[in-house]
Structure 1
C-alpha cells in the first residue's frame, strides 16, 4: 500500500466518490480553485468543474441548509465548514432539519449529506477556531458522528459517509492532516459504528479518539516500560458507538481510562464512562478515569495551548492512578 497523509487520504475518497457517483458534489468556502482552507479539496475543481466543486459565500447557515435540501432532493453533497467552531451559525439547519427530515417524513426521504469540519487545538488558532465539539453532535438523534484518527480510517470512513443515506458529521483534527500511513489506492469502505483495536493489551483499556489516539499509543509505549500492558481502543465513530468492543476490552483488562481533547466536563468520555458503568461495572477493579481538556477556552499563548491539550503524560498519570 502507498504511504499517504491523512489529507491525501481524504482527497482520494472525495475523488473516488465523485468519479463513482455523479450526484456527489462538494460545497463550502474556498473549496474550489483555492483547494480548501487546509488543502483537502486540492485538484478537485480542475477535475470536476465549478458545478460539482462549488465555492459558497461566507454563510454557514446557507452551506448546511443548501446541503440538507440538496440531499433531500436526491443529491449527495459533501459540505465543508472551515472550522467546527462555526457550526453554531447553522444549528437549526443541521439539528432541526437535516437530522429530523427522515423521521418527520416517515422515511419517505433520505438525507445523504456529509458535513466535514476541521477541529482541535495545536496550531495557535485561539479560542474561536480550536474547539473539539463532538459531544454536541452525539446528543442529536438522526445524525452519525465520525471521528477518524488515521489516514486509512479517514479514507474508508469518508467513503462510507458519502454513501450513507443519513446525515454524517465528519470531524477531522487539524494536527492529523500531515500524519502519514498506509492507504490503498483503490476505493474501500469502513463500516460506520465499528471501532478498532489500535494496540492490544491486558492490564488497562484506554479508549481514545482522534488526535488523542496517537497520544494514547505513546502513553502505552511508556507504560510498557513499567510493566503495564495497555490496550488502546479507537471507536472511530461516536454515533453510533461500538459499545460491544469497549465492553469486551474492559472485561479483559478490568480497568478503563478514556482520553479525548474535548473538555472533560460533559465530553464524549462521560457517555462512554456511563455506558461501561451500566454494562460492565462488575468487571472494574478501580474507578474509571477520564482525561480531557480543562473547562476553559483554548488559549492563544503557545505554551498555554500545549498545556491545555491532553497528552501522553496525562494519560500515563491516569493509568498509574488505577494500576
Structure 2
C-alpha cells in the first residue's frame, strides 16, 4: 500500500483507515471498547479490524467506561498504546476519575518514569436524533484538565491525520468525532435536520501513513473583515453562513483545542479586528469563553468590537428541539451582523 495513493473516504472510513494503518505499523496498539470487535462499533468505525488484526488486539469490553479507561491506563504502563472507544461522549462521565486522576497525571506523578499514550475516541455532538443521552458536547470539561490533549476534526483528511498523530503522542488524547458529519456533509440547509447518512463527501484521503500535527489550526477560508473560530461540525455551518451572507470572513478550523494554535488566531484577529466564536456546546463555561478571553488578552488593542459567541443553549439537551439548539444561519448571521456594525 503506497503512502501517496488516495481514496475517497468519509470520516468513518478515514478513522478506520487510521486505526488499520497504525495497527499494521505498531504491534503495541490495541483497540478496545463496547461492540468494537466482531460488530465493528455502532458507527462501524472499527469494522473489519478484529478480523484483520486478531481478537487480542481488537476486543470487546463490558459496559463499564470506568473499567475501559482503567484497563487502558494499566496497559500503557506496560508499554502498550491503547485506543479505547467510548461509544458516545455522553457515556464518558463514569470514566472521568480514571481520565483525570490517572491518565492525565501519570507522567507528572511518576516524574516522567511512565507516560499515558492513550487515545480515547468518542463520537460527540448532536444531529442524529439521539436525545439527551447521545448528543452531548463535553469538550470543555477535558480542555480544563492539565495533562490532557483534546482534538476535534472537521473532515476526513484531518480525522485520519490527527488520529495518527494522537496515537503516536505520548500523552493522553481525548479524540472527539462529530457524528453529525461522520458519513458526509449537509445539503446546505442548516435550519432543519437532514438524513445524516444521505450524502457522502468527496474527500481524497491518503490510504497510507501521514500525520496532521496536533496544535496547528487550519485557515479554511481567508478573509479581512472578521475572524470566525470554529471546530468540528460548526466549521461547515460557519462556512455555509459566510457564503450565504457574502461576508469577507476568515474562517479558522481549530482542529485541536489543547494544544491551541493561538498564533494563527492572533494573527487573524489582529488583521480583521473582529472575532466570532461558534461551538455546539452550552455557552456558560464552554470553550468559547476561553477563546474569547485569549483573543481579548492577545488582541485587545486591535479589536474593533466585542468578541461574539454563538453556542448551544444553557439547557439540558432538548431532544424535540434539537435543530433549534444548534447554532445555525439565523443566530450566526445575527452575530456576524452585530460584530460588523460595531
TM-score by length of 2: 0.92
Q: Give the equivalent residue in structure 1 for 2:212.
A: 190
Q: Give the equivalent residue in structure 1 for 2:241.
A: 219
Q: Give the equivalent residue in structure 2 for 1:154.
A: 159
Please state how far the C-alpha of 1:102 moved relative to its aligned partner: 0.3
Could you list the per-position Cα deviations for residues 63-92 of structure 1 after superposition, in whole angstroms to 9, with x for gaps in the alignment? 011111101211000000011111111111
Q: CA RMSD in A?
A: 0.8
Gaps of 5+ in 1: none
Task: Supply the distance in 2 between the matched residues of 1:176 and 1:70 (Cα, whole angstroms).
Answer: 32
Please state how far the C-alpha of 1:233 moved relative to its aligned partner: 0.3
SS in 2 for 1:188: coil
Cα pair 1:143 1:167 within 8 Å, conserved = yes
Please state how far the C-alpha of 1:124 moved relative to its aligned partner: 1.2
Report whether the alignment pairs 1:242 with 2:261. Answer: yes
Please state how far the C-alpha of 1:264 moved relative to its aligned partner: 1.2
Equivalent residues in 2 for 1:30-69 (5 A)?
30-69=35-74
Q: Give the equivalent residue in structure 2 for 1:133.
A: 138
- Match 1:308 to one of 321, 325, 339: 325
Task: Supply the distance in 2 between the matched residues of 1:32 and 1:312 (Cα, whole angstroms).
Answer: 40
Task: Supply the distance in 1 between the matched residues of 2:175 and 2:140 (Cα, whole angstroms).
Answer: 13
Please state how far the C-alpha of 1:49 moved relative to its aligned partner: 1.2
Task: Supply the distance in 2 between the matched residues of 1:75 and 1:43 (Cα, whole angstroms).
Answer: 21
Task: Supply the distance in 1 between the matched residues of 2:60 and 2:329 (Cα, whole angstroms).
Answer: 39
Gaps of 5+ in 2: 1-5, 185-200
Q: Give the equivalent residue in structure 2 for 1:105.
A: 110
Please state how far the C-alpha of 1:222 moved relative to its aligned partner: 1.4
The structure 1 segments of at least 4 consecutive aligned residues displaced by more than 2 Å after TM superposition are: none
Task: Supply the distance in 2 between the matched residues of 1:193 and 1:81 (Cα, whole angstroms).
Answer: 23
SS in 2 for 1:74: coil
Report whether the alignment pairs 1:262 with 2:281. Answer: yes
Q: Matched residue pairs, number?
A: 318
Task: Supply the distance in 2 between the matched residues of 1:294 and 1:74 (Cα, whole angstroms).
Answer: 43
